[in-house]
Structure 1
């Protein structure tokens, strides 16, 4: 009987030398904490970029600068916002997201703060055009692409949509507040608030932002195995240019860049710049037109988040084809919808255009990942630069067309035609069916 007792079940205690059991996974994946910090950063970034439009009248009244001179600083800001993105993505790979974002926020804070001391137009170009443009461009779409790609294997489209929608939400949060400050307390109070907010946002970035899931002992959300370690070396500028050179040799890059340039042309460049004066040409008060444009921003939040959800479930090429086709049709009908007063048709246009405003971003990012893999954030940065170039070109051409023809009707029709071109570009991104020889092989 004693011998039988000796061969009983093994003791519960773990044998010496056995590896301890892994700790239980936390209930909330740390990627969502990083998303929360990123949302805060992008909310602020959108508010910082929206400020120059509010200052235009105040700077004209105080310094006597022409609106063309003030607009020149805004143009520099927009150009750098687009051109900085691919280099910022490479810098995040080379040095990390946290130091790049903190430096960008402090650059915005410095640029905005120094404007209270300016006395000449070149100082406005330097402070708000160059410094704020570089800082806000470092937190453009490439930042959202980097975060969603590093921290999420599943739900990448939804996260991209959330972070993209933060831009529109930032305008909704900051525009009314800053406008009230400019009206009641002067433009200097508004820019000081922007400077302080940029500095304050850097604090949670320093405390909570982490570079990769491995830093907190986790896998990317939805992943079953650890991703390969990043192989990043050399200069960030050299890498950005090298990725551009490699991407430029592929048809997919040019199709994505062309379609996204049309996206910028038909949103920021056309509707964002010329909708209010076009509505005023039809007798609508400026304040009413501005309210309609703000309503576009409100529905943009819902549309972009929904687009991210769709991107996780449907073919992004089909989504882009649908978005551009519907956008083009709505632009063709716009001349007949504008009038002196608010009517249901123009309200329907505003709601639809808001839902479609930057709904193109999540599927475009998904296609960059599909075609360019680990270099997708940098490639999307270059595609975003094309977006800004398209916006700048059409913003200028639409003004020339208004001067030449006396109205914007030709511009709306031409924009509808551009959307048809975008549909063709997106359709060309679909995988080609294999030929007979390929199937036989």
Structure 2
């Protein structure tokens, strides 16, 4: 009777998976807030230390590269040591990097503290972390939860950006770093109390599962496993198709929009503050678009969703030069809304495909695909500025990225799905897919 009563009572409570997802979301939001600071620190650091903007930007570039490269290794470490331990260490590394940045005296220290430490920490709790949590704790609603967790990083940027900007203006740049370091430290005990590595740890089944799922044995050799997953995935066509499409995704979002949209709008006479506000609005609609994409991924073919998202994004980028002017027109507002809805909408379908083709290492595989995303972003960030210097306008950049998005849409459709029978018993690669 006690067991029955306990089971009945438990059935009226939210499944533990939702609490775990909430804890993961909090971690991602806090980590995402750190990406807002480089733009706020450039002016103050240049004014106080006299460092060139290139040397300041180097730290941001190192941060971006490590953010991408860390993800697959962090996912493998979570399989070896558990999610909670890796996330706790990552948050403390982030806090240490931010704290040490407040006492730096040379540009190389900024690259070390902010570029390396914060880059390693934030990369460890990026989208691959969300993919790991979703894969372990959810069978149903995976796409929706993936979308919510993926949107957490951008939500963190939007939540903390106004407050951090106010702190920098009123009290200087150091208190803003201390604020974020304290937020990261405060998140550790909250995360530790709620987050669990696997449903079996609390005697539950994953959300939507009809039977108990035993906790897998720790995967020894996390570094070797991450490399082994890359080696195995590299022998499959779908991996390269997804990596290529996601590289274009990074180039057409983080690489170009977050780096060059404001100066491009300024070229047309728009004040920088107005352009930055439009960029922030894109971030707000990111949240809506990513959650909606996750919901759609649970119900539709992720390949077709990716193709649709890339095609629409390409059209928007091609027409963007015609929409820019000194004043904010209704057409620009429409661009901001639609582009924001599409910006991170590619994440849930790509994660779903990584799970389908590599079910035992979906999170690690997505980590490597994310590294391609960051590589594309870094190339576009540099190439966009070089093209502006060469042509005196950003118009060729928007046209080129529009064409690349069309190519990414085609790559998405070329990804071969596994057979329906295979998906019913567990995703696996067919002989055709391995070619």
TM-score range, shorter chain: over 0.9
Q: 1:286 is matched with which residue? A: 272
Partner Cα distance (1:22, 1:87) in 2 = 43
* Partner-residue secondary structure (3-state), 1:215: helix
* Bigger Rg, which one: 1
TM-fit CA distance, 1:22 = 8.0
TM-fit CA distance, 1:114 = 0.9
1:242 and 2:232 aligned: no
Q: 1:350 is matched with which residue? A: 336
Partner Cα distance (1:141, 1:164) in 2 = 6
Q: 1:98 is matched with which residue? A: 84
Partner Cα distance (2:417, 2:358) in 1 = 15
Q: 1:5 is matched with which residue? A: none
Partner Cα distance (1:46, 1:75) in 2 = 16
**1:218-273 Cα deviation digits (max 9, x unpaired):** 10000002235424432100000000000000001000000000000000001111
Unaligned runs of 5+ in 2: 421-431
Partner Cα distance (1:339, 1:70) in 2 = 30
Equivalent positions of 1:184-263 (< 5 A) are 184-263=170-249
Equivalent positions of 1:400-411 (< 5 A) are 400-411=386-397
Partner Cα distance (2:128, 2:414) in 1 = 24
TM-fit CA distance, 1:21 = 4.9
Cα RMSD between the aligned structures?
1.6
Partner Cα distance (1:237, 1:356) in 2 = 34
Distance 1:345 1:200, change over 3 A: same
Distance 1:150 1:337, change over 3 A: same
Report the TM-score, using the length of structure 1 for normalisation: 0.92
8 Å contact from structure 2 (residues 72, 363) kept in 1: yes
Match of 1:179 among 165, 174, 193: 165
1:369 and 2:355 aligned: yes
Q: What is the count of residue pairs matched by the alignment?
A: 418
1:264 and 2:250 aligned: yes
- Runs ≥4 residues deviating over 6 A: none
Partner Cα distance (1:189, 1:286) in 2 = 25
Q: 1:333 is matched with which residue? A: 319
Partner Cα distance (1:162, 1:134) in 2 = 23
Match of 2:414 among 406, 413, 428: 428
Match of 1:163 among 149, 169, 179: 149
8 Å contact from structure 2 (residues 201, 215) kept in 1: no
Partner Cα distance (2:24, 2:316) in 1 = 33
1:69 and 2:55 aligned: yes
Unaligned runs of 5+ in 1: 1-13
* Partner-residue secondary structure (3-state), 1:117: coil
Q: 1:9 is matched with which residue? A: none
Q: 2:426 is matched with which residue? A: none
* Partner-residue secondary structure (3-state), 1:374: coil
